[in-house]
């Protein structure tokens, strides 16, 4: 459905780079931003689910779709793992549209495997695409953000960061992505830059592919059944639109989105106990107090967490 031109969440005059924008959730983000007036660099290396191979078709197809709908977009097929490729995405934004305002880090891969068969190479590949890729593209855009005093960055997290026996490399990478985003958010907060995370849930290749489901320990699905639109990528993009918009109300936060649900995901710590004389036996004896979640604290940054601890210790006799 076309977006009302009077909508408050418009992106007229804004320019976005969307990585992994040729398929699935990335495609949905690119189309949603373009529909609301953004000019979009659609980046997609066109790799397979595991991250190997390349194909220029997906990015070009999304660009054609945006242009056919009256929007403006260009394709970029560089790999996010290549720093020069990341720079080329930002250069494409500047050379074609004159500026860069938004980076949506969506590119990723998934190659399920668990212990003890998981290899260091798999850990490294997932890290390179999810974490280093997000860093490379954000880093390339950062000088433009700081010079104009404005920028919006969205990184893609996952409930995988809670831990999964067969998605270990993916989960490790997503955990690192969360820490990267929170560190970037603190770095940019005084410069008009906001950095947040979305943890999407949708029926994409990573969820529906029969081989991946088997390797992930998931039951098979009926491949002949039509896809449920309520489980589509389009149900994720409204949150990304908010986080990418100039009116974005948060910085350094993570939100679940998809399947008709939107929610905040956060890390917290319990108040715990303060007793400088506790030995290991004392810690175990007071375990129920240590893990009591009543009055939990949500820390904004590492520095804030350190200051909180110092203040507690100072105020406690």
Task: Say if CB 113 and CB 215 are below 8 A apart.
Answer: yes
Q: Quote the CA–CA distance of 258 and 45 in Å, as a whole number.
A: 25
Q: Is 296 a catalytic residue?
A: no
Annotate 186-205 with DSSP letters as a single string: HHHTTTTEEEEEEEE---SH
Task: Say if CB 19 and CB 107 are below 8 A apart.
Answer: yes
Task: Please identify which of the residues 150, 166, 170, 296 carries the catalytic annotation.
Answer: 170
Q: Quote the CA–CA distance of 267 and 276 in Å, as a whole number.
A: 26
HSE-CB of 166 using CA atoms within 13 angstroms: 10
> Exposed, middle or buried: residue 265 (CB in 10 Å: 0-12, 13-18, 19+)?
middle
Cβ neighbours of 135 (radius 10 Å):
20
Q: Quote the CA–CA distance of 175 and 60 in Å, as a whole number.
A: 31
DSSP state of 37: T
> How many contiguous H segments (helices) and E segments (strands) does the chain have?
12, 8
Give the residue numbers annotated as catalytic, written as ranges.
Answer: 170
């Amino acid at each position: 459905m076309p977006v009302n031109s009077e909508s408050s969440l418009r992106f007229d005059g804004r320019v976005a780079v969307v990585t992994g924008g040729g398929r699935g959730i990335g495609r949905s983000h690119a189309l949603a931003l373009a529909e609301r007036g953004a000019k979009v660099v659609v980046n997609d290396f066109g790799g397979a689910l595991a991250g190997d191979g390349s194909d220029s078709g997906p990015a070009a197809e999304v660009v054609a779709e945006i242009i056919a709908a009256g929007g403006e977009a260009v394709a970029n097929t560089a790999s996010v793992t290549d720093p020069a490729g990341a720079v080329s995405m930002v250069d494409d934004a500047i050379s074609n549209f004159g500026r860069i305002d938004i980076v949506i880090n969506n590119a990723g891969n998934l190659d399920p495997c668990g212990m003890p068969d998981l290899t260091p190479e798999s850990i490294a590949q997932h890290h390179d695409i999810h974490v280093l890729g997000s860093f490379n593209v954000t880093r390339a855009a950062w000088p433009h953000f700081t010079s104009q005093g404005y920028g919006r960055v969205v990184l893609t997290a996952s409930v995988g960061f809670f831990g999964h026996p067969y998605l270990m490399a993916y989960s490790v990478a997503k955990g690192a992505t969360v820490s990267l985003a929170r560190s970037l958010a603190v770095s940019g907060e005084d410069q008009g830059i906001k950095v947040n995370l979305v943890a999407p849930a949708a029926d994409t290749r990573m969820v529906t592919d029969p081989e991946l489901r088997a390797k992930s320990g998931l039951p098979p699905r009926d491949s002949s059944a039509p896809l449920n639109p309520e489980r589509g990528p389009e149900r994720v993009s409204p949150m990304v639109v908010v986080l990418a918009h100039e009116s974005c109300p948060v910085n350094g936060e993570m939100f679940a989105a998809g399947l008709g649900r939107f929610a905040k995901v956060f890390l917290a710590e319990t108040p715990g106990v303060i007793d400088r004389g506790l030995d290991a036996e004392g810690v175990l004896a007071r375990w129920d107090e240590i893990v009591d979640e009543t009055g939990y604290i949500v820390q904004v940054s590492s520095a804030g967490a350190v200051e909180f601890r110092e203040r507690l210790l100072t105020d406690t006799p």
